[in-house]
Amino acid sequence: MRVPDSMIASSIAARLAAASERLFRTQEKVASGLAFTAPSQNAPGAVRAAGLRSSIAEVTRYLANADAASAKLRLTENCLQSISDLLTEARTAGLARTDISADGNAALADQVHQMAAQVVRNASFSSDGSYLFSGYKVSTAPLAGNGAGPPPYLYQGDRGDQQVQLGRGIAITTNLDAAELLNMNGAADPGLDDTLETLRKLEAALRGNDSAGVTDALTSLEQHSQRVLSLRAELGARTQHVELAKTQLESVKLTFQDLLSRVQDADLTQAVIDLRSQELSYQAAAAAASVLHRASLLDYLR
């Protein structure tokens, strides 16, 4: 029984279409480097890949938070180091007071005045328009001159703790407010003047050749210096915590990326071999279709 031409044509057309589809999929795999490009091609793999991509995005956000926290803590530490150095210099100036030279004491007082101004500048440091030491009120300068003083300055911020997430349920405070740093309004020690008031008293005692006043101011200044040192140690511990978190997050991200690669990346060596095989298959199907197209009536009458 002779097979109808239409059946032969349909069969060859179907084989040609199937070969073309396989060739296209293999070309797509080689070009993209992916084992599948649509969920329908590998539903379990697509679900797994989506979950891994979501996890990678989450870890990436935590890493960005850690980078921001690290930068902010470094800026804060720089300001604290500068303030610590200024307080040490102020103590040195107070210890240099002499009963012999009033002019010399006045010069020391001028130095203390300049140091106090630099403490104010450091405590009022801002980065990208945000003040470091104002709590949540980052757009408000932490210190404002008190014309009715003493004390010479008033705190304008709040006591809010700015926190960043380093993981699910893991947060770290990245800020320090000027109230605690300078003992404004007795925030750190109610029985002690704030740092700027202490510096003002030291300056006044030097100008007035007041030995007892200088001694009292130096005693208070030592307490302020110790508090700043303690805060620096605390910031150092926070910075270390952030750096450790960054190391762990980077490791986790690499692990997720490796797992994602195993799920969705194609074996390019095998894909190239498959591509060559599919090309040969398609060429064979195309050749068969071409032969059928060229067949004449005489070919069927033989």
What is the residue-wise DSSP string for 54-113?
HHHHHHHHHHHHHHHHHHHHHHHHHHHHHHHHHHHHHHHHHHT--SS-HHHHHHHHHHHH
Question: Which structure tokens are listed for 140?
Answer: 């408000």
* C-alpha dist (Å) from residue 285 to 26, 185, 220, 265, 288: 17, 89, 95, 30, 5
Give the tens place of pLDDT for each residue, 26-67.
556 556 666 666 777 778 888 998 999 999 999 999 999 999
Structural contact between residues 159 and 173, judged by C-beta atoms closer than 8 angstroms? no
Q: Work out the number of other CB atoms within 10 angstroms of the CB of residue 235.
A: 19
Question: Which structure tokens are listed for 298?
Answer: 């005489």
Predicted pLDDT at 297: 45
- 35 falls within a domain: no
Q: Work out the number of other CB atoms within 10 angstroms of the CB of residue 259.
A: 16
CA distance 277 to 23: 9
Question: Which structure tokens are listed for 236?
Answer: 């150092």
Q: Which residues pair with 153 in a beta bridge?
A: 145
Predicted pLDDT at 129: 87
Predicted pLDDT at 107: 95
- 294 falls within a domain: yes
Predicted pLDDT at 21: 64
Domain identity same for 209 and 292 = no
Domain identity same for 178 and 293 = no
Predicted pLDDT at 298: 46
Domain identity same for 219 and 272 = no
At residue 4, does pLDDT exceed 70? no
Show the domain range for 114.
Answer: 52-259
Confidence of residue 300 (pLDDT cuts 50, 70, 90): very low
Domain identity same for 296 and 175 = no
- 199 falls within a domain: yes
Residue percentage of the chain with pLDDT more than 70: 75
Domain identity same for 168 and 297 = no
At residue 302, does pLDDT exceed 90? no
Give the tens place of pLDDT for each residue, 185-202.
999 999 999 999 999 999
Reduced to 3 states, what is the DSSP secondary structure of residue 142? coil
End-to-end CA distance of the chain: 14
Tell me the average pLDDT of the chain: 85
Mean pLDDT within 137-159: 93
- 28 falls within a domain: no
Domain identity same for 145 and 281 = no
Reduced to 3 states, what is the DSSP secondary structure of residue 165? strand
Least confident interval from 37-41, 173-177, 212-216: 37-41
- 58 falls within a domain: yes
**DSSP secondary-structure letter at 185?**
G
Least confident interval from 110-119, 137-146, 163-172, 281-290: 281-290
- 11 falls within a domain: no
- 16 falls within a domain: no
Confidence of residue 72 (pLDDT cuts 50, 70, 90): very high
At residue 237, does pLDDT exceed 60? yes
Mean pLDDT within 158-185: 94
Helices and strands in the chain: count of H runs, count of E runs: 8, 6
pTM, full prediction: 0.76
Number of domains, the chain:
2
